[in-house]
Amino acid sequence: MQVYRFTGDTKPDQVLNEAGEVVGSLPDNAVDLALEWYPFMIFCRKFDERAQLLQRQGRIGTYAPFRGQEASQIGSFAVLRPSDWVFPTYRELAGMMYHGLEPVHALLKSRGHPDAGRMPEGLHMAPVQIAIAAQILHAVGAGWACKLRQADDVAVAYFGDGATSEGDFHEGMNFASVMRLPVVFFCQNNQYAISVPVERQTASPTIAQKAIAYGVEGLRVDGNDVFAVYQAMRYAVDRARRGEGPTLIEAVTYRLGPHTTADDPGRYREAADVERWAAAKDPLVRLRLWLTRQGLWDDARQAACEEEAEARVRQAVAEMEAYPHKPLAEAARHVYAEVPEDLALDLAERGKEAR
């Protein structure tokens, strides 16, 4: 009797350990990358903190913080080019801004503005998905289109650990593998789906190993190590561009903030646990330690960088508050290619309210 069991190593791949020491293989241009990434990570951290405050002040609505997941997002988006297809969730704003979404635009979703989903021209990036895992299948479809066009573009689905319990994840992995599509399934395992820990989502020791059942390659990396994420993503994207099919990446990370501004994590997790991750595994701290070791960073640079980031966030907030209102009658033009008669009449009857 042959019994199938997973016996692989579950330790996530690292390039930098928690002390910022090199324990794996750095990318060739590590210094240039780090000097681009680290200031952007600082900006994202400031943005995230400010967005939470804006919600508390009633200036925006519900916001989903990404604090702690900057390395997973920036390290993976850094591999993509504008013609690749990206399907993010509501917690991917750091990556999306790195990819070219203007910070003001990143605030519009929480502002409840209809233009939040009108993504920039020139980028094949979908707006944030709210239904858990639904975007995974869209990425598979877009990857299918890339393959049919014989372009070497790829499609990437971003999702969290909770999404791996949804049917869309399993249908998408299976479909992409059967059709050998250029798709990267990028899972940020941030340990919690709102209040439910990953142990209640899956009984398998890792998410990465789920790849095996679908005939997909799986990688498990330290999601707070930006170099490890980058290397894994490069491996997956290169495979996809070469026509070798899909890859599942599990980036092991931690959601330092609440699920959203409407959530109280004190109800379901210990403050000490959060502290442990924040103290020892913060992705920003790790990259700064490495940069400092290289003699490329110091307190003065840090202070200047933070100041610049804060100014940029202030600018984005000012732009958000000045962003012109879009009336219902205008938003309603985009339900069908042409406004149906019934809808046009209804809007006309609403009169001023809709304008």
Partner 1 sequence: MPKWTMIEAIRDALAIALRDDPRVLVFGEDVGKNGGVFRATDGLQAEFGEARVVDTPLAEKAIVGTAVGLAMAGMKPVAEIQFLGFAYEAMDQIAAQLARIRFRTQGRFTAPAVIRAPYGGGVRTPELHSDSLEALFAHTPGLVVVTPSRPYDAKGLLLSAIRSPDPVIFLEPIRLYRAFREEVPEGDYEVPLGRAAVRREGSDVTLVAWGPTVPVAESAAVQVASKGISCEVIDLRTLAPLDRSALKASVEKTGRAVIVHEAVRYAGLGAEMAASIMDLAFYHLRAPIERVAGLDTPYPPAALEDAWLPSVTRVVEAIERVMED
What are the catalytic residues? 255, 259, 268
245 binds partner 1 (CB under 8 A): no
Residue tagged 């393959």 (tokens): 147
Using rule CB under 8 A, residue 127 touches partner 1: yes
Residues whose CB falls within 8 Å of the CB of residue 31, separated by 6 or more in sequence, listed in order: 294, 296
Instruction: Choose between 138 and 239: whose C-beta lies nearer to partner 1.
Output: 138
| 215 lies in the binding site for partner 1 (CB under 8 A) | no
Order of strands across the sheet with 124-125? 124-125, 85-87, 155-160, 183-189, 247-252, 217-222
CB of 118 to partner 1, least distance (A): 4
Write down the least CB distance from residue 209 to partner 1, Å.
Answer: 21
Least Å distance between CB 173 and partner 1? 10
One of 9, 28, 121, 299 touching partner 1 (CB under 8 A): 121
Backbone angles phi, psi at 155, to 5 degrees: -120, 140
Residue of 28, 264, 342, 349 that binds partner 1 (CB under 8 A): 342
Torsions phi, psi for 250 (to 5 deg): -105, 115
Q: What is the CA radius of gyration of the chain?
A: 21
**347 scored as a contact of partner 1 (CB under 8 A):** no
CA 322 to chain centre: 27
- The whole-angstrom separation of Cα 192 and Cα 178 is 30
Q: Smallest distance from the beta carbon of 280 to partner 1, in angstroms? A: 39
Among 30, 41, 71, 137, binds partner 1 (CB under 8 A): 137
Return the residue of 200, 242, 334, 350 that touches partner 1, per CB under 8 A: 334
User: For the chain, first and last CA: distance in Å?
Assistant: 71
174 interacts with partner 1 by CB under 8 A: yes
Alpha-carbon gap, residue 87 to 78, rounded angstroms: 15
SS3 290: helix
Residue 53 buriedness (CB in 10 A; 0-12 / 13-18 / 19+): middle
171 binds partner 1 (CB under 8 A): yes
Q: What one-letter code names the amino acid at 284?
A: L
Q: Can you tell me which of 77, 159, 175, 277 binds partner 1, judged by CB under 8 A?
A: 175
Q: If binding is defined by CB under 8 A, does position 348 make contact with partner 1?
A: no
**By the rule CB under 8 A, 138 interacts with partner 1:** yes
Instruction: Using CB under 8 A, list all residues that contact partner 1.
Output: 85, 87, 114-115, 117-119, 121, 124, 126-127, 131, 134, 136-146, 148, 155, 167-168, 171-172, 174-175, 178-179, 331, 333-337, 340-343
